[in-house]
Amino acid sequence: MTDIRVKFDNKAEEIEAWMNVNPDYATEYPNLAPLAQLIAIGRAGDDSAQSMYDAIRACFKDVEGAPFRKGKTSSLPAQVVANADSVTQDLNALYASIMADNEIVAQLMTRHGRSGGGLYEDASEYGEAVSKPVNARLKKAYASMVANDTEAEYWWDGELPVVLTQPSADSEDSE
């Protein structure tokens, strides 16, 4: 199997998970309407995988929460990443709305000192600041559950709706 084949197949799986979590994607982003066809063409042969990968990536330009990221790819299952990202986007929108609709929140909520302190520039910055750590916490909780880490703060099964549980010593496999 070629490197592009592996890259395409992994990204296709991640995109399909994203599509499942975002069922209205074609309505919200008309440029994403041909996704299923592009994935099918890319899976048809190694010759088309690279060009379809590039085409799919171009379709996702300017799409918030797109499954294309810079840096190292996650080792978590694509559906878990998509679920965590979906919940994080919802939380981001909720907190941004709270700040935008309530002047008192805008006047009282400040950045953490390590982020330079001061007031948030706008509601979207506040929403992102509050929701971003939740995304990391969810992914860590999933990894802890998979590893059967009973010392972890929380476990998450990667499913929606999110239900965090606290592991107990009884969860360890008996020898």
Same domain, 89 and 144: yes
With tokens 């996702």, the residue in question is 60
Same domain, 154 and 83: yes
Write down the pTM of the prediction: 0.67
Residues 88 and 117 in one domain: yes
Show pLDDT as tens, one digit a residue, over the chain (175 residues): 678 888 899 899 989 988 988 888 888 889 999 999 999 999 998 888 999 999 999 999 888 778 887 777 778 888 898 899 999 999 999 999 999 999 999 899 999 888 788 999 999 999 999 999 999 999 999 999 999 999 999 999 999 999 999 997 665 554 4
Which residue range forms the structural domain that includes residue 34?
3-59
Instruction: Give the chain's domain count.
Output: 2
Answer yes or no: is 11 within a domain.
yes
Interatomic CA distance for residues 82 and 80, integer angstroms: 5
Residues 20 and 91 in one domain: no
Residue 155 and residue 115 share a domain: yes
Closest CA to 79 of 88, 89, 95, 67: 67
**In 3D, which of 87, 67, 73, 66 has the Cα closest to residue 137?**
87
- Whether 52 and 113 map to the same domain: the answer is no
Rounded to an integer, what distance in angstroms lies between the CA atom of residue 71 and that of residue 100? Answer: 32
